[in-house]
C-alpha cells in the first residue's frame, strides 16, 4: 500500500514546488521561481519513473499528475511571462520617452498592464494540452505537441539568462516585448499542434532505434557546456527541430 503512494508523493512534491514558485513569481523573484519549477519538473519525472517501476500506474495518478503539471508547468510560466512582458514594456517605453512622473504612472496603469496579460495564454494553452493528453491514446510512448514541462523550461530559463548571462545580445532579446509576445504565441500553439515529438523514454538502447535521442543528448550536453544558461531555450528549439526532421525522414521512408 505504501509503495502504491510513492509516485503520488512525488506528484504532490511537484505541486508544492509549483505553489512555492507562484509565490516567488508574484514577489518578482523570478530566478527563485525558476529553480522551484525545475525542482517540480524533477519530481514530475520521478513520479512517472516510480509508477512504472512499481507497476502502479492508474487513472488517479494520471489525473493528479496533470493537476500538478498545470500549476508548475502552466500557471507559473504564465505569471513569469506576464512579469517579463510588463518589465520589457516599461523599460522600452521609459527609454523612448522623457516625460513627467505623472504621465509615466498613467501609462503604467493602462497600456503596459494590459499588454502583459498576453502571457496568460500559456496557462490557457497548457490546460487545453493537459486535458487532451489525458484522453489521447497516441501519447503513451511519444508526444503529439510540445509537452508542458518543455515549454515551461524554455520560459523559466529566460530569467536565468537575464540574471546569470553576460552576453548582452541575449539580454536585449529577452528585454524585447515583441519577442516575448512571439514566444508566448508560438509556444501556446506548439503545445496543441499536431506535431509528433519523440520521448526520451528508452525501451532499448541500440543506436538504430534511438538515433534521434542520442543525437539530442549529445548536442544538448555540448550546448550546455558551451553556452550554459543560454543553452536551455536553445535545447527546447533543438528538440522540436530534431523531431520534425525525424518525422520527415520516417514519412519518406514509409513512402
Mean pLDDT is lowest, of 64-73, 99-108, 218-227, for 99-108
Is residue 218 in a domain? no
Is residue 211 in a domain? no
Mean pLDDT of 242-252: 87
Confidence check: pLDDT of 64 > 80: yes
Q: What is the pLDDT of residues 88-142, one digit of tens each?
A: 987 654 444 444 444 444 544 556 678 999 999 999 999 999 999 888 777 666 7
Residues 6+ apart with CB under 8 A from 83: 25, 28, 30, 116, 119
Number of independent structural domains in the chain? 1
Is residue 31 in a domain? yes
Q: Is the pTM of this model over 0.85?
A: yes
Is residue 245 in a domain? no
Q: Which has more confidence, 4 or 192?
A: 192
Q: What is the mean pLDDT of the chain?
A: 86
Is residue 205 in a domain? no
Residues 6+ apart with CB under 8 A from 20: 36
Is residue 232 in a domain? no
Mean pLDDT is lowest, of 71-75, 200-204, 246-250, for 200-204
Looking at residue 103, its pLDDT comes to: 46
Give the residue numbers spanning the domain of 148: 2-197
Which class for 25: exposed (0-12), middle (13-18), buried (19 or more C-beta within 10 A)? buried
Is residue 227 in a domain? no
Q: In this structure, what CATH number is given to the domain that contains residue 135?
A: 1.20.120
Is residue 127 in a domain? yes
Amino acid at each position: 500500500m505504501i509503495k502504491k503512494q510513492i509516485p503520488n508523493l512525488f506528484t504532490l512534491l511537484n505541486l508544492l514546488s509549483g505553489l512555492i514558485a507562484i509565490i516567488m513569481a508574484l514577489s518578482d523573484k523570478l530566478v527563485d521561481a525558476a529553480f522551484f519549477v525545475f525542482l517540480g519538473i524533477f519530481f514530475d519525472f520521478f513520479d512517472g519513473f516510480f509508477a512504472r517501476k512499481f507497476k502502479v500506474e492508474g487513472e488517479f495518478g494520471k489525473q493528479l499528475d496533470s493537476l500538478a503539471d498545470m500549476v508548475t508547468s502552466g500557471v507559473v510560466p504564465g505569471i513569469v511571462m506576464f512579469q517579463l512582458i510588463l518589465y520589457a514594456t516599461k523599460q522600452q517605453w521609459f527609454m523612448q520617452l522623457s516625460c513627467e512622473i505623472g504621465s509615466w504612472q498613467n501609462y503604467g496603469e493602462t497600456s503596459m498592464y494590459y499588454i502583459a496579460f498576453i502571457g496568460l495564454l500559456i496557462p490557457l494553452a497548457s490546460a487545453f494540452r493537459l486535458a487532451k493528453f489525458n484522453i489521447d491514446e497516441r501519447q503513451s510512448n511519444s508526444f503529439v505537441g510540445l509537452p508542458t514541462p518543455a515549454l515551461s523550461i524554455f520560459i523559466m530559463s529566460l530569467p536565468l539568462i537575464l540574471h546569470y548571462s553576460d552576453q548582452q545580445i541575449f539580454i536585449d532579446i529577452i528585454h524585447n516585448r515583441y519577442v516575448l509576445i512571439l514566444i508566448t504565441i508560438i509556444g501556446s500553439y506548439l503545445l496543441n499542434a499536431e506535431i509528433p515529438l519523440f520521448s526520451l523514454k528508452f525501451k532499448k538502447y541500440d543506436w538504430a532505434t534511438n538515433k534521434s535521442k542520442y543525437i539530442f543528448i549529445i548536442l544538448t550536453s555540448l550546448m550546455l557546456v558551451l553556452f550554459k544558461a543560454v543553452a536551455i531555450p536553445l535545447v527546447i528549439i533543438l528538440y522540436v527541430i530534431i523531431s520534425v526532421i525525424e518525422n520527415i525522414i520516417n514519412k519518406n521512408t514509409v513512402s
